[in-house]
C-alpha cells in the first residue's frame, strides 16, 4: 500500500497545480478537484481490472494449459481466477484513497468503506466459484457417484452468502461482525422460520444420501405430486423429475423422506422387469376333458408330453383306489382349465425374452363375478419400456388367440352389440 500512497501524492499534486494554472476559483476548485479525483480513481480501477483480467489472467490461463492436472482447468472453467481478479481494483482503491483525499477524513472513510464493500463482494464471488469447482472435482470420484453433491454445494453457497452478507452489513454499520452474529442468535426463531425449507432440505439431502434412497437418473413415482419419470436434478430444497410426457415436476427434497414414493431402480438393476397381468375366463366354459378333447389337446406340441404323463398319473391313481369311472366326477380327471394353464406355462417357458431365473408363475386368482382370473407373473429380460410393452403384448395376443382351442371363453362384460343380438 505504501507504493500506491507514493503514487497518489504526485497525481494529487498534478491535479491541484492544473486547477491553479487554469485559474479556477478556489470555491469551485475544491469541488472540481473531488470530481477529477473520482474520475481518476475510476480510470485507475479500470486499468487495474484490465491488467488483472487481460494480462495476469491470460498468463495464468497459459500456465494452466501446460499443466497435466485437471483441477486448475476446472478453476478456469468456473471462472475462479476471473472473480478473484476483482480484488485487485479494490486493493488499488484502498491504497490510493488516503493520499488522494488527504485532509478530508470524511471522504477517506467513505472511500475506504466502498473499497471494503467491493473487496468483500469480490471475495464472495471467488469463494462461490471455488465451491462450484470443488463440486465438479468431487463429483468425479467414485465415492461421490450417488451423492447429491449439488445439494451440498448449494448449502455451502448459502453459508458463503450469509457470512458475506453479515460482513457487508458490519461494514455499512461500522460494527463488529461478531456483534451482528450475536444479534442473529437472538433472532434464531425468526431465522428458523425464514430458512425452514432450506434446513429441511439439507436434512432430507443427508438422509437421502446416507440411505441411498434416490439418485439422478432414477425412475421414481410420486403420486402425491403427480410425478412419474426420471430424476434429472437433486438440489438442496427441490428435486426435479422429468415425467414421461416431458413435463417437469418439482418436488420438495424433504418430501422424499417424509412421504411414500416408488423408486424403480431395483427393477433396472435386476435381471428383468415384471409382467403381472391376468385374463378372466368365463367359468361356465370350465369342464372336465373327455377322450375326444384329450386326443385333440395331445396334438399341441408344447403340452403333448405333459398330457401323456398327466393321463398316466390320473389313471394310476384311479386304478390304485378302485375308482369307478361310470361318473366323470369320480376320482381324478383332467380339466380344460388345468390343461390350458399348463399350456400357458409351457408357452412362456419357451419364450426367450423371459428370465427363467426370476419368479415364474401362471396361477389362478380368486374367482369373481367377472370370471376366473388366470394371472401371468413373470419377468421380461428387456427392461426398456417400449420393448417391454411389445413382449407383454405378444404374450397376451397369443394367449387370447388360443384360449378357444381349449373350449374356454374369455369373460367380457356385455356390450351394445351383444344386446342387439338378443333383440333379433
Backbone angles phi, psi at 356, to 5 degrees: -80, -10
Confidence of residue 318 (pLDDT cuts 50, 70, 90): confident
- The answer, yes or no, to whether residue 191 has pLDDT greater than 50, is yes
Looking at residue 185, what is its pLDDT? 63
Average pLDDT over residues 329-357: 92
User: What cell does 22 get?
Assistant: 487554469
Higher pLDDT, 144 or 389: 389
Q: Which residues pair with 243 in a beta bridge?
A: 229
Looking at residue 320, what is its pLDDT? 84
Looking at residue 205, what is its pLDDT? 73
Distances (CA, A) of 407 to 138, 146, 370, 410: 66, 55, 18, 10
**CA separation for the pair 183, 349 (Å, rounded):** 73
Higher pLDDT, 293 or 215: 293
Looking at residue 412, what is its pLDDT? 86
Dihedral over alpha carbons 20, 25, 31, 34 (to 10 degrees): 0
Looking at residue 45, what is its pLDDT? 74
Looking at residue 365, what is its pLDDT? 94
Q: How far from each other are the two terminal CA atoms of the chain, in whole angstroms?
A: 108
**CA separation for the pair 237, 217 (Å, rounded):** 18
Looking at residue 413, what is its pLDDT? 80
Confidence of residue 5 (pLDDT cuts 50, 70, 90): very low
Among 4-18, 127-141, 189-203, 257-271, which stretch is predicted with the lowest mean pLDDT? Answer: 4-18
Interaxial angle between packed helices 336-349 and 301-320, expressed in degrees from 0 to 180 and rounded to the nearest 10: 140
Is the pTM here over 0.85, yes or no? no
User: What is the average pLDDT value for the chain, to the nearest integer?
Assistant: 79
Higher pLDDT, 189 or 344: 344
Looking at residue 172, what is its pLDDT? 79
- The answer, yes or no, to whether residue 243 has pLDDT greater than 80, is yes
- The answer, yes or no, to whether residue 199 has pLDDT greater than 80, is no
For residue range 35-47, what is the model confidence (pLDDT) as tens digits?
Answer: 666 777 777 777 7
Report the candidate in 282, 278, 250 with the shortest Cα–Cα distance to residue 371: 282
Looking at residue 331, what is its pLDDT? 84
Amino acid at each position: 500500500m505504501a507504493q500506491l500512497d507514493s503514487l497518489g501524492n504526485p497525481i494529487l499534486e498534478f491535479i491541484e497545480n492544473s486547477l491553479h494554472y487554469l485559474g479556477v476559483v478556489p470555491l469551485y476548485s475544491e469541488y472540481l478537484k473531488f470530481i477529477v479525483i473520482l474520475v481518476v480513481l475510476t480510470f485507475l480501477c479500470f486499468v487495474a481490472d484490465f491488467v488483472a483480467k487481460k494480462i495476469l489472467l491470460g498468463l495464468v490461463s497459459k500456465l494452466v494449459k501446460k499443466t497435466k492436472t485437471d483441477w486448475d482447468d476446472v478453476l478456469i472453467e468456473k471462472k475462479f481466477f476471473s472473480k478473484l481478479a476483482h480484488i485487485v481494483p479494490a486493493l488499488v482503491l484502498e491504497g490510493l484513497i488516503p493520499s488522494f483525499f488527504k485532509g478530508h477524513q470524511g471522504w477517506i472513510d467513505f472511500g475506504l468503506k466502498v473499497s471494503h464493500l467491493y473487496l468483500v463482494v469480490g471475495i464472495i464471488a471467488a469463494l462461490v466459484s471455488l465451491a462450484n469447482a470443488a463440486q465438479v472435482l468431487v463429483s468425479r470420484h467414485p465415492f461421490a457417484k450417488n451423492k447429491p453433491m449439488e445439494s451440498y454445494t448449494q448449502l455451502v453457497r448459502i453459508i458463503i452468502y450469509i457470512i458475506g452478507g453479515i460482513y457487508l452489513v458490519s461494514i455499512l454499520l461500522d460494527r463488529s461482525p461478531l456483534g451482528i452474529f450475536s444479534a442473529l442468535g437472538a433472532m434464531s426463531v425468526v431465522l428458523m422460520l425464514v430458512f425452514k425449507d432450506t434446513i429441511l432440505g439439507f436434512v432430507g439431502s443427508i438422509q437421502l444420501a446416507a440411505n441411498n434412497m434416490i439418485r439422478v437418473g432414477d425412475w421414481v413415482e410420486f403420486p402425491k405430486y403427480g410425478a412419474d419419470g426420471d430424476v434429472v436434478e437433486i438440489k438442496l430444497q427441490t428435486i426435479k423429475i422429468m415425467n414421461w410426457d416431458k413435463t417437469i415436476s418439482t418436488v420438495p427434497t424433504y418430501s422424499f423422506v417424509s412421504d411414500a414414493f416408488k423408486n424403480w431402480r431395483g427393477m433396472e438393476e435386476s435381471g428383468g422387469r415384471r409382467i403381472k397381468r391376468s385374463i378372466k375366463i368365463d367359468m361356465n366354459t370350465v369342464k372336465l376333458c373327455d377322450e375326444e378333447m384329450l386326443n385333440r389337446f395331445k396334438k399341441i406340441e408344447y403340452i403333448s408330453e405333459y398330457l401323456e404323463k398327466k393321463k398316466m398319473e390320473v389313471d394310476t391313481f384311479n386304478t390304485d383306489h378302485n375308482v369307478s369311472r361310470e361318473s366323470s366326477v369320480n376320482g381324478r380327471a383332467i380339466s380344460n382349465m388345468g390343461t390350458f394353464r399348463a399350456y400357458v406355462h409351457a408357452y412362456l417357458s419357451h419364450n426367450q425374452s423371459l428370465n427363467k431365473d426370476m419368479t415364474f408363475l401362471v396361477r389362478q386368482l380368486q374367482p369373481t363375478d367377472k370370471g376366473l382370473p388366470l394371472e401371468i407373473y413373470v419377468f421380461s429380460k428387456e427392461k426398456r419400456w417400449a420393448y417391454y410393452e411389445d413382449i407383454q403384448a405378444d404374450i397376451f395376443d397369443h394367449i387370447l388367440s388360443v384360449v378357444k382351442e381349449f373350449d374356454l371363453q374369455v369373460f367380457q362384460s356385455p356390450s351394445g352389440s351383444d344386446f342387439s343380438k338378443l333383440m333379433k
